[in-house]
Structure 1
Amino acid sequence: MGQAGPVKNILLVDDDPDVRELLMHILRSEPSYRLFMAENAEQAREQLSGHSMHLVLSDIQMPGESGIDLSRFIKRDYPQTGIVLVTVISDPESAKAALDIGLYGYILKPFDRQQVLITVDNALRRQAFEMREAESRRRLEREVFEKTSHLKQVTYEVGKVRSELNVSHTILHEQVLLLQTLLDAIPHPVFYRDLEGFFLGCNDAFAQFIKLEKKQLIGRNLTALASAEIIQTAKQTDAALLQREAKISYDAQIRGADRIDHDVVITKAFYKDAMGQPAGIVGIIMDITERKRSEAALQASEEKIRRLIDNINIGVVLIDPDLKLLEMNRQMNAWFPQTPIERSPRCYEIFHSPARSGPCEFCPTMEAMRSRRCQETTTKLYRPDRWCDFRVVTSPLYDRNGNVAGAIMMLEDITGKLNMERELMQSQKMASIGQLAAGVAHEINNPTGFVSSNLKTLDDYQKDLNRLIEAYQKLRQAVKELPAVSGCADVGRVIGDIESLEDEIDIDYVRNDLKELLAESMEGTERIKRIVEDMKYFAHPGQDKVQDTDINKGLNSTLNIVNNELKYKAVVIKEFGELPIISANPQQLNQVFANILVNAAQAIESRGEIRIKTQHLDDCVQIHISDTGCGIPDHHLQRIFEPFFTTKEVGKGTGLGMNIAYNIIKKHGGDIKVQSQVGQGTQFTIRLPVDQIQDEAHEDA
């Protein structure tokens, strides 16, 4: 007990200074004790707040706050500090209250030195023990707390991992379902197996192809399902796949569960494990049986079409957007045998002589590709031996995206057809001349008749005038030979004879009649001349050509030709507007007008009316020719422009007039329409362009 140890702070609380001194004297003998003094509870509180006390020795009865109350305060606020009460009272109640507080000791006054030291030493030992116990308990509690916290963390982590595993399992399950759904959605058979050939799974299409359920397939080997040839091919392609480590495709023929051989393309590839090593093979089988059949059918169809195109007498050319010739059929090669098609020459370099350096001004191929519409025209192209007339039809070609990828041009040699049309047109002209011959003859006979009559009268006048002239000559001679006076009687007689002759021939009438006869004869001969000139339009094909044309003048000329057909049937009413001069073939147009006018006259049974009206519209001239004839029934009206269609008696019509009229107007780039109502009449409407004319009209009729 006298050994020095760690310093212990001891607070002595007593209101009696003698007791405090005594206790201090006793306890000072221990060098490890550091002593503090307080007279009452208040000072004790101050000391406790300023120093860490190991032990408090306090009197019970003190002024103000008692030692019991102070002890309760210390136990509550400073539980690590031990308490020993010092008192002179031996009161059981006080003792019980002190014990309830948990005091370390109880010293009764008067006390001796040894009792105080033992009690204080025991109290300090107990305080140290309790402090160690408290520290151990706190350490244990801390360890328990830490272990519990760690356990909670571990439990949380385990729960988290379990939750993540559940989520991963769910996701994995969903992905497996998704992958299987994706596989089943593929219309082609799909399988996957390990490297030994055992099937691990497939899609619905594969199961249906081999007529096995998926669960029946899993675990079965390829050798149990396929022929030896297929197994051998599979092994070879698997080995090749191992060497390449890339997908491989090959053709095969497999007999399905339907016992039908299928042409297929099999594509296989490795799938790898987590270490990146090949784990198995996935394959897809594409049934190309129908495709091969379609390809064969397409090839046969293409060959059939090619034979058809090569055996028609129409030229067919495939042209790209740069006007390069890509392909020609047999007919085109026959027409243009020198064409180096392998070099893809441009069309304008081949079909013209000399070769052009650029596209034609009105290129139908370029227009077809630009407008995306079929174009048709006629043109002259140079074959190795001559120029020929061709009908050209060009249509655009499209790629899969709907873009223009070129054009197909079809050519028909219409040289013979045009020659025949020219001959036919001339024949129709001559038929028209024959039909109008009687009327024309009558028109010529009328002026010829009165010219002939006038000439006979003029002959008589000429004889009378000759007699008068002879009389005048005799008078002149008599006057010349007359003597100075004696010849007067002879002169008078001659003058009398002359006057008698003038009265006889009525010289004044003859003079006036001569003037009228000459004028009438000149008019008649002029009329004959006009008729003859108008007839030239129909009778002389060599004069047909495109030229500046006055439509009104052409109508007047035609009216002169057909006048005899019209004048006994109808009154002709002309409503001619002011028209521009157009570029046209006037002879051909006059032929159209003549056909329509003659038909109009023939449709009028009794005296009627033919009305001709011309007018200038925006870009064309328009001609209306209407009659008050019997009209045309609908079933005939639909066929009126057909060749050889006629309602006239045999020998009175060729059936070509309206067809030729239609073709002439179309060749001029114009339009002709007809409207008719039975019992009321018919109206033809012709429109001709002002600014342009089709190439056909430039050709000789």
Structure 2
Amino acid sequence: SLPDEILVISPDMIVLDVNQPYLQNNGLEYDKVVGRYCYEVDNKLRGECQITEDYCLLREVLRTRRPQNAVYHHIDETGKDVYASTKMTPLSDHEGNLIGVIEATRDITYRIHLEDELAESLVQLETFFLSAPFPISIKNMNGQYIQINDKGCEALGLSFKEIITHTDLEILPRETADIFRKNDSEVLRKGKKQFVSEEKIARAGKDYYYHAIRFPIINKKGEITGVCCISEDITHVKSMQRELERKQKELQATKEYLQNVLENSRDIIITTDLSGNIATFNRGAEDILGYNRSEVTGRPADLLYADPKEYPRLLKRLYTEGGVTNHETRFVRKDGAHVDVAITISHLYDNEGYVIGTVDICRDVTTRKVLQLQLIHQDRLAAIGKLGAGLAHEINNPLAVINEAAGWAGELLDSDDRIKASPNFQEISESLSKIRQHTMRCKSITMRLLGFASQNESVAEACNVNNVINDVLDFMYSRVRFSNIRFHTKLSPEAPDLAVNPVQLQQVLVNLIDNAIDVLPAGGHITIGTEAADGCLRITVADTGSGIPQKLLGTIFDPFVTSKPVGKGTGLGLSICYGIVNQLGGDIKVARTGPEGTQFLITLPITARSG
């Protein structure tokens, strides 16, 4: 009656007897099985007999006279996996003589598949537990944490090792621990899940709030063995609630603040009604245009325009395009003088969303004019550079003559024994050597001047970046020698040559170093480094200045952005650097900045291209 397939086998491997399940499962008749060798009969459940293999379960039982177990796996004729568990037990007579073996085989395919599914479910459950985007923790009956996920650790502000096996009292502030213990105890006492709308956790000087669901952990026997807690961070919701509670109180203060901003803005800020008449006129408008607000309130806004017909055209654009942005026009002051402004016009709405007029914000574009003058100044500097190049060429010619004459005179000295015998020979020889040394120094200076002045003539060439950096530092030394600013280098000897325009690279380095010098106090340090990594060459320029203002970081590489006073900088240096590095196929960014200084990082591909 057993569901297992049973065979009784003699020590000679002859089948002595079989049960009905075996015959039915294999479609065999009793007399076709009994009397044959065990390895000759079919066994669909266990699969083909392994008698030809080195290991045979039957032989092992006969050898050891001990029971043996094995699990067999094969693929049946339908292509499905079949798993069978076989147990062979030695059979002895009353005198202890081995008279046979009982083989019992059971189909465990379902169990194996169930175990696989269970293992997969456990993996999925563990993955969910560990990767869940909300805190999950499990405690035992003693209140000790026995499991917690990453979000749970984050919520408590502690590491896994600091939490696991500890109780709330051991790791959390007393107030928080008491709340957790009270809620855990209620779940364990009632044996039911519990929802807590708000739990507070103090972490790093700040309060965090959570929704929490707790439920008991129950074992196979139905016994409660612990408590699981799943939480949701509602700190942002609490913040929003507090924000909403403050809205009414802040509304009046906000109105007063905005009014104060409008009044104290240096821009012209005007509002008009639906008829185009001036409704408000701020202090900035009074200062720039010379009118008192009482003189213009209620009057048509076109009185401010040099061309009164322009205002209706702008209103038409407002209603057809939805707004007017940075339109340049000209206003007329009360004294008749003209003021160039950039005007932005938008609709003014009431609390219910209806249009009740316009808001006109006008900015004096004097600053832009100054920038245009600075660009002209840059053109003049370029012209001076060309003049310097011409002077360098002119100086090089007499330098070459002086150098050659000194060399020729030296050769004469060396070839004339009478002169060598002169007591003044040594002094003359040293003087000629100094002449040649200083002419070469002058030539080096003029060559550098030529290099910096001839950017448009430069082409890509195999360029040793370390050499370019050293040349730039030599060139910039005159700027820092009296301010006690020190140059330092951390140049990698393994930095590869790049196919770049060396003068463009010089310009980038000069701009960065020049900016660093401008912000450094006496005794500051500038460090330039190179490093080859990941198919790129990295160049760093770091200073020990006070850092870049946070508000400028997002636009630091935009044209005309500068922290220097008017007249001290055009705001084009970093923009030019960005353009050159981009042309070379690289990238430039602010790697770090703060009170201890700023570091720029230039990344160029090893296969950099010429700009």
TM-score of the aligned structures, taking structure 2 as reference length: 0.36
Larger fraction in helix: 1
| Higher radius of gyration, 1 or 2 | 1
